[in-house]
Amino acid sequence: MTSRDPVRASAGDRPALLDLLTRADLTLSGLDDPAVRLWVLREGDGTVVGSTGYELSGDGRHALVRSVAVADRLRGKGTGLRLAEWALARAADEGAGRAWLFSRRSGPFWRRLGFSAADRDDLATALAGTHQVELFTRTGQLDREVAWSRLLPGARGVRTFTWADHTAVVELWRATGVEVLPEGELRATLDHGPGLLLVATDTSDTSDTTDTTGAVVGTVLGTFDGRRGWIHRLVVHPDHRRRGLADALVDEVEARLAAVGAPRTNLLVLPGNPGGLRFWEHRGYLACPDVLLTRPVDG
């Protein structure tokens, strides 16, 4: 697998892109429109082996992910997840708050990235004017399509922790009774799993829901032990609960854990925390019968 990042597709990539998308049975409409953002993944010798992209709605708030394809011989190695993540991150960078897509066959793949089934008419309304929606509406294919959607991190003020947030995060953990991770331990954890501590910021006092400069009001920390993903330190400030912030944090950390290769996510909830338990039940997490055993490593 290539470890390079995708690069913006150029006119010279068009034949290879057409070939890749045709083989993957994906839409070819709008490939020449510069409003359609497209990237290609190249091997060292320049061969195009993957593609990814999206179109934005007129107001820029919605992104229609499209053209995510991987050459047959590179499939099954996580390249598709990486390409899809790339498009989602770029769309979020551009200010989109929600991502949508059509997929009849790859639902499980998109679920791994935090997508859930959506109403195709809602998609067509949010993204009227995009090439795919116009094509599918014109040809009647829209009625046979399956729509998926997910919030993008910036929409709920969810973003990756930076060290400038450290004081605010420690204050939030202290104020909510969450055990504060010592700084050295946190640094070691993030060195091992960069990008897996997320913060939710308060965007309620601005009409721009993609603003991410507000106060830190929630956190979640993911870790990957090479076999399983683990979730820790999920907390939302009491003044901001029951607004979907924990859901937005967990959507994103689950997607990131899936992208680094975790096939399952575990977590621990204290028995005296019924609210926490109900939240995880709402997410589809099940209690398992294992008994946790622990012992400090001798000094």
Ligand X SMILES: CC(C)(COP(=O)(O)OP(=O)(O)OC[C@H]1O[C@@H](n2cnc3c(N)ncnc32)[C@H](O)[C@@H]1OP(=O)(O)O)[C@@H](O)C(=O)NCCC(=O)NCCS
- Contact footprint for ligand X (CB under 6 A): 176, 234-236, 241-247, 267, 269, 273, 275-276, 278-279, 282
**Based on CB atoms, which residue is closest to ligand X, 140 or 274?**
274
Tell the smallest beta-carbon distance from residue 97 to ligand X (Å). 17
**Based on CB atoms, which residue is closest to ligand X, 56 or 221?**
221
Closest C-alpha among 62, 45, 61, 46 to residue 10: 46
Beta-bridge partners for 7:
40
Tell the smallest beta-carbon distance from residue 221 to ligand X (Å). 11
**Based on CB atoms, which residue is closest to ligand X, 30 or 114?**
114
Angle, helices 79-93/245-259, rounded to nearest 10 degrees: 140
Residue nearest to ligand X (CB): 275
Residue with tokens 């997320």: 198
Q: How far apart are the first and last CA of the chain?
A: 42
Tell the smallest beta-carbon distance from residue 18 to ligand X (Å). 43
Tell the smallest beta-carbon distance from residue 260 to ligand X (Å). 21
**Based on CB atoms, which residue is closest to ligand X, 102 or 279?**
279
Tell the smallest beta-carbon distance from residue 237 to ligand X (Å). 8
**Based on CB atoms, which residue is closest to ligand X, 156 or 256?**
156
**Based on CB atoms, which residue is closest to ligand X, 226 or 284?**
284
Q: Distance between CA atoms of 97 and 58, rounded to whole angstroms?
A: 13
Kindly calculate the radius of gyration of the chain based on its CA atoms and give it in whole angstroms. 21
> Distances from the Cα of 270 to the Cαs of 40, 41, 104, 239, in angstroms?
46, 45, 40, 22
CB atoms within 10 A of CB 99: 25
Tell me, what DSSP letter sits at residue 244? S
Strands 147-151 vs 37-42: parallel, antiparallel or unpaired: unpaired
**Contact, 79 vs 42, CB < 8 A?**
no
Tell the smallest beta-carbon distance from residue 241 to ligand X (Å). 3
